[in-house]
C-alpha cells in the first residue's frame, strides 16, 4: 500500500526531463495539458474541484490546519490526569514534532476503559501544536485504507481517486510532511497496521488498542490504561448525573468495576430517566448485566458495554475456542487474584497450554496477569454469565459447574483446624463468595453445597461471621432442596447456620436452627456422638447469650459428658466443649470455677496439637482472661504475651485476628495501670485491621471504636471523640446515613460527648440514633430500648430528669415485652431510672427500682457476679439518699464480701467497697467507725501500688477527714501531711487533688489553732487551683477560706486583695447572690477600716447596706451588721451627724429582734450615746447612756468590768450638761471597779482619776 518516496532534493524535474523550458520571471512551461491548469498573472484565482483520474504530486500539497477527530472530547474528564500527563511526556520526547522520525505511543486497555477519550483529550490539548490532526478508526485493514483515503480527501478537496490509490497517496504525504498527529483508534490486529507504521517516519502516531502487546518493534511506546479508582468513579457519576448521593454512587462504582464506559452508560441512563442513584445501585446489586443492557434514548447501541466486548469474543473464538471456554469458567469466579495454578488444572495439568490461553486472553486485555494470579473485569464476567443459558441436572450452567469443581478440588480439608491449609483458603475464599453470589441457592448441586459449608467453617474460624452466615444460609437452602428432612447432613447445615447466627448476636434465630439440628441428630438410630455434643454446645451458647444460663449450663455439661464418654477425656474435641463450659461459668461470674476448666482445655489442646498451634493461643487468651478477672495480673500478663507472640508467628502479619490477641493483652496492661502500653497495642490492632481492609471498611470503624474506648478509659475523651467521629463517617459512607450500624456509632459518640460535658450535642446524636432505629425496627424492638436508654442518659446529663424518666419507663416496658421480667437489660434500665428518680426526689420509688434490679441480677447471675456488686452498691446508695443508712450497711458489707471472694483482699475493687462503707458511717456521724475501713483502704492501696502512688494519697486524705471529724486532729494532721507529700512527689499530670490536699491540711491546722501554719497552705491552694484551671466554685471556696484566715490574723492588706478577687468572680456570675456580694463588700470595707482607710471603706459599706436593703427590706434584722459597720466608719471619720441616724436604726432593729434587755442593745445604745455626746447633744445622750448602763448592770451585775466604760461615758455627759455632782459618784464607782479588775498602772485608772481631779 505504501511506497518509499525519495527526498525532495533528489526528486527529478519532470519538465526538464521532457525538454521543456520557460524563460523570464513569470514564464511557465507546460507538458501534457490534458488534466493540468496553468495560471499566469499577478492575481490568479483558481478553485480546484476534482482530480478524476490523476492524484496531484505530493510535493505540491502543503500542510494546512485539519481537524478530523470524530467528536469533541468530553467536558467531564475525571481520573485520567496522570495518564494524560504520561502520554504528553512520552509524545514530546525524542525530538518533538519537528523531528524527522516518527514518534508514537500505543494506549492499551480493556474495551470501555477510556482509550478513545484519552486520545481525544490529548489531541484537543495539543491542537495548537500540530498543523493537522488526523483520525482513523483502524479496527480492520479495510478501515485503515478507507481512513487514509479520507486523509487524502481532506488534504485534496474534491479528490475522487480509488480508496487504495488515495491511501497510498496519503501515506506518501505523511512520509514527506511533519507537524501532524495521526490517531489510529481501536486497532484490533497489529498486522493490519504494521506495514503502514514501517513506512511512516515523520510526525506523531497515537494508537489505541485492546491488544496489550509489545509495540516497541513498531516504533511505539506503550501506555497501559486501567480502571478508575473508586473515588474517581464516584466523582464521575456525581458530575454526570447531577445527584449528590455519594454512598449510592460508591455502590454503583464498585458494582461496575470503575469501568469508565459502564459508568458513563449508567450515568446517562440515570440522568435521562431521572432515577435516583440509590435505586439504580440497588438494581445493579441483583441485575448487573440486565441493568447495563439499558441505554439512554440518545445513546448509541453499539457503544453499550456488552456490544463492545462481543467483537473481542468473536476474535477469540477464531483464535482458540478453549480461551472462550476459560473465560466462561472465570465468569463465575471472583474478578481478582485467581491463583494461576487453577488455570493449569483447567488445562488438564499442562502449564504450557494454560500459559498459551492466558497470553491470548491477556493480549486482548480480557484478563490481567501477574506471576501468581489472574484477574478479569466484573462486567466482562456479567456479560459472559448472561449468555450462558444451558443448565445441568443440578441447576448450574456447565461452566459454573466446572468453576465449582475447580475451586472445590483445590480447597484443603479440615478448614477449621488445618492451619497449613489456611493460606490456600484465603486465596480461594473470594471465589467461593463469587460462586455463592453468582449461582445462589436455587439449585441442588452437591459439590457447591459442600464447598459453601467448608468455606463457612473456615470463615467462622477467622471470625468473619457475617460471611459465615451468608455461606451457611446458601448451603442450607441447597441442602433443603436435595436432602431428606431427617438427613444427618441437613442437621449439620442447620447447626452451622445456627452457630453463625449466634456469633452475630442473632441468638433467638440461632436457637431455632440449633434446636432443629439437635432434634434431627438425636432422632437418628445410631447418632454420631460428636455431632450430638456439638449440637448441645451450640444450643447452650445461644441460650446463655439470651440470658438463659439456667438452660445453658446443663446442656453444656451434657456436651462435655457425651464427648468424654465417646472419645475419652483427652480428645481434642473435648477441649472445645470444656472451654465453652468455662465461658458460661465466666458469664455467670463464676471465674474461680471457670479457671480450672480453661486450664484443662489448654492442656488437652497442647497435647493434641502441640505447643505451636493457633488453638493453643486462643486457649491461652482464655486462661489469661480468667487470671485478669481474679486479679492475678502477673500471670495474666505472661500468658497474654505468650498468646500474642504465638499468634504473630502463626498468622500472617496482616491477619485481622491479630487485633484480638493484641486487645486481650492490652486489657491486662490497662488492668495494671500500664495505659501507654495498652494504647500502643490497641493502636497496632487498628493498624492491622486498616491494612487488611479497605480504609473505609466497617471493620475499621469497629476497631476505631475499640481504640476510642481505651482513650475514654484514660480520660482522653477529646481523642476518643475524634476516633468515634471517624468511625461514624466510615459507616455512614459505606452503609448510608440511616443504617442501624450508624445508630450504634452515634450512640458511642454520644457517650463520649457526655464524658466531655457536651451533653446537648450528645442528646442530638442520641435523638438521631433513636430515629434511625425506630425507622428500621418495630416500636417494641429491643434495639429501640437501647437507644431510648442512650437518649435518657444524655437528658440525665443535662439535668432534664423529668424528660429522661418516661424514656426509661418505655425502654423498661419494651424489654419486659420481649424478654419478660427477668433480663439483665431490664436490671440496667431500672438502675438508670432509679438514679433519675433520686434526682426528682422520688426516693422511695428509686429504692424499689434498685431493689428489683438487684433481685433480677442475683437471679440471672451467680450470687458472686461482679454485676451483683454494682447492684448492691446502687441499692445502698439509694437507701442512703433516703436517710436509711443503717439499712445500707448490710448490702455494702455483702458487696465487699463478694469483691474479696472474686478478687482477693488486695484489689482496687476492694478499696472502692471500703470507701462506700466508710462514707456511709460518715453520713451517719459515726466517724469512729469510719476510721477502720479507711485505715484498711490505705493499707490495700499501699500493697497494690506502693507507698508513693497517687491512689495512696487519696486514701490518706479520706482517712484524714475521718480523723478530723472524730476530733483526732493530731492524727489527721499526720496523715494529711503525708498525703500532701505523696501528691507533690507525683508527676505533674497526676496532681489533680493537690488543691484538696492543701485545703484539708490547712483546715486541720486551723482547727488546731495553728492558723499561721494554715495560711501558706490556703495561699498555695488558691495558686494551684488557678494554675490547674479549676472551676470557679473551687477557686472561690479556697479564696473564701484564705480571706477568713487573713482576717483572723489581721492581715488587712492581704484581705483587701482577696475580697476584690472574690467580688470579681461572684459579681460576674450569671446568677449572682446579692447577699453574698454584700457580705464581701462589707468585709472589703472592714479591711480598709482596720487599716485606717476610712474614706476607701465608706463606698463599699454603703453599697453593701443598699444591696441588703434592696434584697431584704428596711426592717430586716440582718441589716444590723451593715448599719454598724458604716456607722463605726463614720464615727472614726468624726462624721457623727451621718453616724447617728444609722445607730438609731440599729437600736430599733435590735430591740425588735432581741428584746429590750439584750447586751447587743446596750452596746449600740452606748455607741449612739457617745455619738450624741460628740455632737454636743448631752441632753439627748444622757437618757440613751443611762439606759445602756441599766441594761448592762442588769445583765452583768453591779461590779462587772463592762460597767466601767458605761459609767465614764455617762459621767462625761453629765459634766457637759453641768451636772458635775451627779458625775462624781459615777466616776468613783468606775474607779473602784477598775482598780478591782485592772493592774495599778493601767491607763484607764489614771484617766478616771484625772476626770475626778477636774471636778
Q: Do 235 and 79 form a contact (C-beta atoms < 8 A)?
A: yes
Convert 284-297 to b/e letters by CB count within 10 Å (16 or more is b). beeebbebbbbbbe
**Could you tell me the pLDDT band of residue 674, with boundaries at 50, 70 and 90?**
confident
Question: 459: Cβ–Cβ under 8 A, 6 or more apart, which residues?
Answer: 429, 465, 467, 468, 471
Report whether pLDDT(1254) > 80. Answer: no
Query: What pLDDT is stored for residue 264 in this prediction?
Result: 82
Q: pLDDT digits over 1047-1059, tens only?
A: 888 999 999 998 9
∠ CA 197-200-206, rounded to 5°: 60
pLDDT of res. 888: 95
Of residues 744 and 216, more confidence is placed in 744
Q: What is the mean pLDDT of residues 346-375?
A: 90
- Residue 891: the pLDDT is 96
- pLDDT confidence tier of residue 99, bands split at 50, 70 and 90: very low
Element at 836 (helix H, strand E): helix 824-839
Q: If you search the block for the grid coordinates 480450672, which residue do you land on? A: 596
Band of residue 1093 on the pLDDT scale cut at 50, 70, 90: very high
The confidence score (pLDDT) of residue 1096 equals 93
Residue 303 has pLDDT above 60, yes or no: no
pLDDT score of 302: 43
Are 1022 and 993 within 8 A, CB to CB?
no
**3-class SS of residue 374:** strand
Q: What is the pLDDT of residue 485?
A: 93
As a residue count, the chain comes to 1255
69: pLDDT strictly greater than 80? yes
Name the pLDDT band for 1228 (thresholds 50, 70, 90). very high
DSSP state, residue 209: E
Q: Which helix (H) or strand (E) holds 208?
A: strand 204-209
Range with the largest mean pLDDT of 205-214, 523-532, 1099-1108, 1214-1223: 1099-1108
Q: What is residue 301's predicted lDDT score, i.e. its pLDDT?
A: 43
The residue with greater pLDDT, 1224 or 629, is 1224
Least confident of 156-160, 669-673, 1024-1028, 1215-1219: 669-673
Residue 594 has pLDDT above 60, yes or no: yes
Percent of the chain with pLDDT over 70: 90
What is the crossing angle of helices 572-587 and 549-567, to 10°?
A: 160
Residue 88 has pLDDT above 60, yes or no: yes
Q: Which of 397-401, 672-676, 1065-1069 has the lowest mean pLDDT?
A: 672-676
With beta carbons less than 8 A apart as the criterion, state whether 177 and 202 touch.
yes
Lowest mean pLDDT, pick from 77-86, 164-173, 1083-1092:
77-86
Q: What is the mean pLDDT of residues 270-284?
A: 84
Scanning the structure block, which residue is given the C-alpha cell 500527563? 85
Give percent of the chain with pLDDT exceeding 90. Answer: 50
Question: Which residues, including other chains, have CB under 8 Å from residue 540's CB and lie 6 or more apart?
Answer: 551, 552, 553, 555, 556, 559, 580, 584
User: CA-CA distance, 108 to 208, in Å (whole number)?
Assistant: 6
pLDDT at 700: 81
Which one is predicted more confidently, 902 or 300? 902
Q: Which residues pair with 183 in a beta bridge?
A: 135, 206
Question: Percentages helix, strand, coil for the chain, rounded to the nearest 5?
Answer: 70, 5, 25
pLDDT of residue 671: 67
If we measure between CA atoms, which residue out of 745, 742, 744, 697 comes closest to residue 723? 745
pLDDT of residue 304: 59
**464: which residues sit within 8 A by CB, 6+ positions away?**
none
Three-class DSSP category at 375: strand
* Alpha-carbon radius of gyration of the chain: 48
Report how far residue 385's alpha carbon sits from residue 333's, in angstroms, rounded to the nearest whole number: 11
Lowest mean pLDDT segment, chosen from 76-80, 207-211, 306-310, 799-803: 306-310
pLDDT at 1029: 67
Mean pLDDT of 287-310: 59
Q: How many Å apart are CA 955 and CA 939, to the nearest integer?
A: 9
The pLDDT tens digits of the residues spanning 946-975 come to 999 989 999 999 999 999 999 999 999 999
Give 7's pLDDT tier (boundaries 50, 70, 90).
Answer: very low
* Mean pLDDT value across residues 995-1019: 90
Tell which wins on pLDDT, 931 or 272.
931
- Over 70: is that where the pLDDT of 297 sits? no
Is a pLDDT exceeding 50 seen at residue 96?
Answer: no
More confident residue, 1069 or 952: 952
3 state SS of 564? helix
Residue 56 near residue 173 (C-beta atoms within 8 A): no
Q: Which residue has the higher pLDDT, 41 or 1107?
A: 1107
For residues 28-48, average pLDDT: 38
- Please indicate whether residue 586 or residue 692 has the higher confidence score (pLDDT): 586
What is the pLDDT, as a whole number, of residue 29?
Answer: 39
pLDDT above 50: residue 558: yes
DSSP per residue over 1162-1190, as a string? HHHHHHHHHHHHHTT-HHHHHHHHHHHHH
Q: What mean pLDDT do residues 710-723 have?
A: 88
pLDDT band at 6 (very low <50, low <70, confident <90, very high): very low
Judge contact between 1164 and 1126, C-beta under 8 A: no
What spatial distance separates the first Cα and last Cα of the chain, rounded to whole Å?
155
Distance CA 347, CA 355 (A): 9
pLDDT of res. 673: 59
1229 or 53, higher pLDDT: 1229
Give the torsion through C-alpha atoms of 468, 474, 478, 483, to 10 deg. Answer: 40
Average pLDDT, the chain: 85
Amino acid at each position: 500500500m505504501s511506497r518509499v518516496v525519495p527526498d525532495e532534493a533528489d526528486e527529478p524535474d519532470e519538465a526538464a526531463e521532457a525538454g521543456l523550458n520557460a524563460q523570464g520571471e513569470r514564464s511557465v512551461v507546460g507538458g501534457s495539458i490534458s488534466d493540468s491548469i496553468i495560471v499566469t498573472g499577478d492575481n490568479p484565482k483558481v478553485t480546484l474541484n476534482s482530480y478524476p483520474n490523476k492524484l496531484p504530486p505530493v510535493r505540491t500539497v502543503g500542510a494546512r490546519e485539519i481537524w478530523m477527530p470524530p467528536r469533541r472530547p468530553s467536558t467531564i474528564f475525571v481520573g485520567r490526569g496522570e495518564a494524560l500527563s504520561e502520554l504528553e511526556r512520552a509524545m514530546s520526547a525524542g525530538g518533538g514534532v519537528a523531528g524527522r522520525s516518527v514518534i508514537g505511543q500505543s494506549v492499551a486497555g480493556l474495551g470501555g476503559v477510556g482509550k478513545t477519550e484519552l486520545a481525544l483529550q490529548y489531541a484537543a490539548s495539543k491542537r495548537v501544536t500540530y498543523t493537522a490532526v488526523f483520525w482513523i478508526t483502524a479496527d480492520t485493514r479495510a478501515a485503515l485504507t478507507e481512513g487514509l483515503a479520507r486523509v487524502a480527501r481532506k488534504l485534496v478537496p474534491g479528490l475522487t481517486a480509488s480508496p487504495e490509490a488515495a491511501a497510498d497517496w496519503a501515506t506518501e504525504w505523511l512520509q514527506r510532511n511533519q507537524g501532524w498527529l495521526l490517531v489510529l483508534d481501536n486497532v484490533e490486529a497489529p498486522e493490519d497496521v504494521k506495514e503502514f507504521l514501517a513506512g511512516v517516519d515523520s510526525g506523531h502516531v497515537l494508537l489505541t488498542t485492546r491488544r496489550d502487546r509489545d509495540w516497541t518493534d513498531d516504533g511505539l511506546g506503550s501506555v497501559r490504561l486501567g480502571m478508575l479508582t473508586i473515588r474517581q468513579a464516584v466523582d464521575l457519576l456525581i458530575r454526570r448525573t447531577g445527584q449528590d448521593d455519594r454512598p449510592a454512587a460508591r455502590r454503583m462504582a464498585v458494582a461496575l468495576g470503575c469501568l469508565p464506559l459502564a459508568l458513563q452508560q449508567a450515568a446517562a441512563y440515570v440522568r435521562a430517566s431521572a432515577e435516583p442513584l440509590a435505586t439504580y445501585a440497588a438494581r445493579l446489586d441483583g441485575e448487573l448485566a440486565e441493568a447495563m443492557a439499558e441505554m439512554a434514548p440518545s445513546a448509541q447501541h453499539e457503544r453499550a458495554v456488552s456490544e463492545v466486548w462481543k467483537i473481542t469474543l468473536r476474535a477469540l473464538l477464531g483464535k482458540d475456542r478453549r480461551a472462550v471456554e476459560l473465560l466462561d469458567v472465570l465468569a463465575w469466579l471472583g474478578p481478582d487474584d485467581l491463583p494461576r495454578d487453577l488455570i493449569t488444572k483447567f488445562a488438564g495439568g499442562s502449564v504450557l497450554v494454560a500459559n498459551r490461553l492466558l497470553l491470548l486472553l491477556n493480549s486482548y486485555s480480557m484478563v490481567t496477569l501477574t506471576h501468581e494470579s489472574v484477574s478479569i473485569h466484573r462486567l466482562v464476567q456479567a456479560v459472559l454469565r448472561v449468555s450462558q443459558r444451558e443448565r445441568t441436572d443440578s441447576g448450574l450452567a456447565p461452566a459454573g459447574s466446572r468453576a465449582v469443581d475447580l475451586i472445590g478440588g483445590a480447597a484443603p480439608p479440615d478448614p477449621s483446624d488445618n492451619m497449613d491449609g489456611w493460606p490456600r483458603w484465603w486465596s480461594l475464599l473470594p471465589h467461593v463468595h463469587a460462586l455463592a453470589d453468582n449461582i445462589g441457592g436455587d439449585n441442588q448441586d452437591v459439590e457447591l453445597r459442600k464447598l459453601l459449608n467448608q468455606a463457612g467453617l473456615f470463615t467462622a474460624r477467622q471470625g468473619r461471621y457475617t460471611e459465615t452466615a451468608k455461606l451457611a444460609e446458601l448451603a442450607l437452602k441447597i441442602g433443603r432442596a436435595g436432602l431428606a428432612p431427617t438427613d444427618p447432613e441437613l442437621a449439620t447445615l442447620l447447626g452451622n447456620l445456627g452457630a453463625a447466627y449466634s456469633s452475630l448476636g442473632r441468638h433467638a434465630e440461632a436457637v431455632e436452627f440449633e434446636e432443629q439440628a439437635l432434634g434431627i441428630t438425636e432422632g437418628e438410630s445410631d447418632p454420631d456422638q460428636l455431632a450430638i455434643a456439638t449440637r448441645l454446645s451450640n444450643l447452650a451458647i445461644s441460650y446463655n447469650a439470651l440470658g438463659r444460663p439456667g438452660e445453658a449450663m446443663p446442656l453444656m455439661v451434657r456436651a462435655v459428658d457425651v464427648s468424654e464418654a465417646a472419645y475419652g477425656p483427652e480428645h481434642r474435641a473435648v477441649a472445645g466443649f470444656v472451654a465453652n463450659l468455662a465461658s458460661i461459668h465466666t458469664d455467670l461470674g463464676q471465674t474461680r470455677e471457670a479457671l480450672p476448666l480453661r486450664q484443662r482445655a489448654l492442656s488437652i489442646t497442647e497435647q493434641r496439637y502441640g505447643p505451636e498451634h493457633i488453638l493453643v493461643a486462643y486457649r491461652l487468651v482464655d486462661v489469661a482472661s480468667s487470671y485478669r478477672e481474679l486479679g492475678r495480673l502477673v500471670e495474666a500478663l505472661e500468658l497474654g504475651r505468650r498468646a500474642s507472640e504465638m499468634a504473630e508467628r502463626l498468622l500472617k502479619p496482616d491477619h485481622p485476628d491479630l487485633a484480638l490477641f493484641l486487645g486481650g493483652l492490652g486489657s491486662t496492661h490497662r488492668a495494671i495501670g500500664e495505659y501507654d502500653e495498652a494504647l500502643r497495642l490497641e493502636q497496632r490492632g487498628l493498624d492491622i485491621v486498616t491494612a487488611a481492609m479497605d480504609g473505609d471498611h466497617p471493620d475499621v470503624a469497629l476497631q476505631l471504636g475499640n481504640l476510642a474506648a481505651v482513650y475514654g478509659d484514660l480520660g482522653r475523651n477529646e481523642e476518643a471523640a475524634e476516633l468515634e467521629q471517624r468511625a461514624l463517617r466510615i459507616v455512614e459512607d459505606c452503609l448510608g446515613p440511616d443504617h442501624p450500624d450508624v445508630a450504634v456509632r452515634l450512640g458511642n459518640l454520644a457517650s463520649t460527648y457526655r464524658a466531655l460535658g457536651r451533653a446537648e450535642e450528645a442528646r442530638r446524636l442520641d435523638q438521631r440514633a433513636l430515629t434511625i432505629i425506630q425507622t428500621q425496627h418495630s416500636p417494641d424492638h429491643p434495639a429501640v430500648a437501647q437507644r431510648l436508654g442512650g437518649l435518657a442518659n444524655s437528658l440525665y446529663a443535662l439535668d432534664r430528669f423529668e424528660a429522661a424518666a418516661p424514656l426509661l419507663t418505655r425502654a423498661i416496658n419494651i424489654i419486659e415485652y420481649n424478654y419478660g421480667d427477668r433480663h439483665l437489660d431490664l436490671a440496667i434500665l431500672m438502675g438508670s431510672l432509679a438514679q433519675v428518680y433520686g434526682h426528682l426526689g422520688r426516693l422511695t420509688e428509686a429504692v424499689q427500682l434498685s431493689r428489683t434490679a438487684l433481685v433480677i441480677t442475683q437471679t440471672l447471675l451467680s450470687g458472686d457476679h461482679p454485676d451483683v456488686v454494682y447492684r448492691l452498691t446502687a441499692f445502698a446508695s439509694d437507701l442512703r439518699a433516703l436517710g436509711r443508712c443503717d439499712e445500707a450497711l448490710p448490702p455494702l458489707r455483702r458487696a465487699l464480701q463478694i469483691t474479696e471472694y472474686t478478687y482477693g483482699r488486695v484489689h482496687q475493687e476492694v478499696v472502692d467497697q471500703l470507701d462506700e462503707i466508710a462514707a456511709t458511717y460518715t453520713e451517719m456521724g459515726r466517724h469512729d467507725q469510719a476510721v477502720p475501713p479507711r485505715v484498711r483502704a490505705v493499707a490495700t492501696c499501699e500493697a497494690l501500688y506502693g507507698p508513693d502512688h497517687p491512689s495512696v494519697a487519696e486514701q490518706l486524705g479520706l482517712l484524714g477527714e475521718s480523723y478530723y471529724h472524730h476530733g483526732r486532729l493530731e492524727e489527721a494532721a499526720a496523715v494529711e501531711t503525708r498525703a500532701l507529700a505523696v501528691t507533690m512527689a507525683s508527676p505533674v499530670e497526676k496532681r489533680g487533688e493537690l488543691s484538696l490536699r492543701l485545703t484539708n491540711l490547712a483546715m486541720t491546722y486551723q482547727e488546731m489553732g495553728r492558723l499561721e501554719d494554715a495560711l501558706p497552705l490556703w495561699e498555695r491552694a488558691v495558686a494551684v487551683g488557678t494554675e490547674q484551671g479549676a472551676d470557679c466554685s473551687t477557686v472561690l471556696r479556697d479564696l473564701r477560706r484564705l480571706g477568713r484566715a487573713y482576717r483572723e490574723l489581721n492581715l488587712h492588706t492581704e484581705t483587701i486583695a482577696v475580697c476584690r478577687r472574690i467580688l470579681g468572680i461572684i459579681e460576674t456570675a450569671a446568677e449572682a447572690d446579692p447577699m453574698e456580694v454584700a457580705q464581701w463588700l462589707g468585709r472589703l470595707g472592714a479591711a480598709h477600716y482596720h487599716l485606717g482607710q476610712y474614706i476607701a471603706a465608706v463606698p463599699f459599706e454603703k453599697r453593701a447596706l443598699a444591696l441588703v436593703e434592696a434584697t431584704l427590706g428596711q426592717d430586716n434584722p440582718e441589716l444590723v451588721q451593715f448599719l454598724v459597720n458604716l456607722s463605726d466608719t463614720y464615727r472614726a471619720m468624726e462624721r457623727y451627724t451621718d453616724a447617728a441616724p444609722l445607730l438609731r436604726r440599729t437600736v430599733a432593729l435590735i430591740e425588735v429582734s432581741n428584746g429590750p434587755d439584750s447586751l447587743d442593745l446596750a452596746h449600740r445604745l452606748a455607741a449612739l450615746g457617745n455619738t450624741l455626746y460628740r455632737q454636743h447633744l448631752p441632753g439627748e445622750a444622757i437618757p440613751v447612756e443611762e439606759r445602756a448602763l441599766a441594761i448592762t448592770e442588769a445583765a452583768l451585775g453591779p461590779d462587772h468590768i463592762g460597767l466601767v466604760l458605761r459609767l465614764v461615758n455617762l459621767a462625761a455627759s453629765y459634766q457637759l450638761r453641768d451636772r458635775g455632782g451627779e458625775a462624781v459618784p459615777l466616776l468613783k464607782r468606775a474607779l473602784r471597779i477598775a482598780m478591782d479588775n485592772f493592774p495599778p498602772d493601767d491607763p484607764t485608772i489614771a484617766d478616771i482619776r484625772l476626770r475626778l481631779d477636774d471636778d
